[in-house]
Amino acid sequence: MALLAMAFISTGRGTGLAAPDSGDLSSSDPPTRFPATGRIVAFGDWHGDLDAARTALRLAGAIDEHEHWIGGDLTVVQTGDQIDRGDEEQAILDLLDRLQDEARAAGGALHALLGNHEIMNVEGDFRYVTDGGWADFADAGIVIDDTDSLVVSLPDEQRPRATAFRPGGRYARMLAKRNVAVIIGRTLFVHGGILPDHVAYGLERLNAETRAWLRGTGPMPTVYETKDDPVWARQYSDDPDAADCALLSDVLATLDCDRMVVGHTVQEQGITEQCDDRVWCIDTGAAEYYGGTIQGLEIMASGIRVLSAD
């Protein structure tokens, strides 16, 4: 595996109901904003491809051959869409959940964010689940919630996964440990994009309300009722024009950030920057479903570069 440095620039300023077996998988709520760290490596969508996830984490220097954290004080950000389109979703979610604890104990951090596919599964939207994705959760020891009308409307083989992801279910509660958007130093990370309306809604409110919904203790946040919510917006990743870049400038100025890093929209040529380096688009189609390349965006005080698995 080789690391290729590309696009090196200055970083600028400053350095339903719970299943009976679900257990208490929640932890103390993470904040929305974190201080700057020495080295951040961010990755886009993995879509159920465990090999892609492993390769990416090793590219960053985060894990060893046994998939344990060796990154020390490294910060890794994965911008969502760990699931759907592939067959190894449960293993990816479990790996990230464990590594969050291992990274924290070592003085580092792993931020696995929520993407539109995580939100879709909690909503009960399973359009992109593969046959293997249904079978994966059938062997997870999930106790079916027979009181959930959506769950019981599904074929038997689909009920374990549906129960696991329903609000309050085992994997919904695991997802509740995560943020939708996070700011580290002067960089904002989110799956789709943060628009001015989302800033007005409040990032802390967005994260807190989403966690409550996932835990089954609150309603689905109203922000997800809009077409361009934070996990679906493509204004900055799908050929942004001058008006889109102006929106971005307003958001970054209000949030006191230098740049935004987004996934969601596959960049066929690899990681790209838009709007004069103020947005970095890091969904490279790394999963087998897309057949793209595995790349990570490294952010340090000295500059930004793209790391590629060769």
pLDDT recorded at residue 15: 28
pLDDT recorded at residue 17: 31
Neighbours of 300 (CB within 10 A): 15
pLDDT recorded at residue 200: 97
pLDDT along the chain (310 residues), means of 10: 34 32 54 97 98 98 98 98 97 98 98 98 96 91 89 95 96 98 98 98 98 98 95 97 98 98 97 97 97 96 94
Taking a C-beta distance cutoff of 8 angstroms, is the pair 50, 92 a contact? yes
User: Which residues lie below 8 Å from residue 292, measured CB to CB, with a gap of 6+?
Assistant: 266, 268, 270, 284, 285, 286
- Segments making up each domain of the chain, as ranges: 6-308
Q: Where are the alpha helices (DSSP H) in the chain?
A: 50-59, 89-105, 116-123, 131-138, 149-152, 159-165, 170-175, 196-201, 203-215, 242-255
pLDDT recorded at residue 26: 42
Sheet with 272-274: list strands edge to edge: 33-34, 181-184, 187-190, 259-262, 279-281, 272-274
Chain centre to alpha carbon of residue 9:
25
User: Which residues are paired to 281 by β-bridges?
Assistant: 262, 272
Tokens of 301: 């005080």
Question: If you ran DSSP here, which 8-state letter would residue 273 be given?
Answer: E
- Distance CA(125)–CA(58), nearest Å, equals 32
SS (H, E, C) 168-187: CCHHHHHHCCCCCEEEECCE
Which one of the listed residues 47, 117, 191, 198 is annotated catalytic? 117
Tokens of 131: 């046959």
Classified as helix, coil or strand, 41 is: strand
pLDDT recorded at residue 189: 99
Q: What CATH class is the domain 6-308? A: alpha beta
Least Cα distance to 48 among 264, 293, 289 occurs for: 289
Residue 117 is among the residues annotated as catalytic for this protein? yes
Taking the alpha carbons of 198, 201, 207, 211 in that order, is the dihedral positive or negative?
negative
Please state the length of the chain: 310
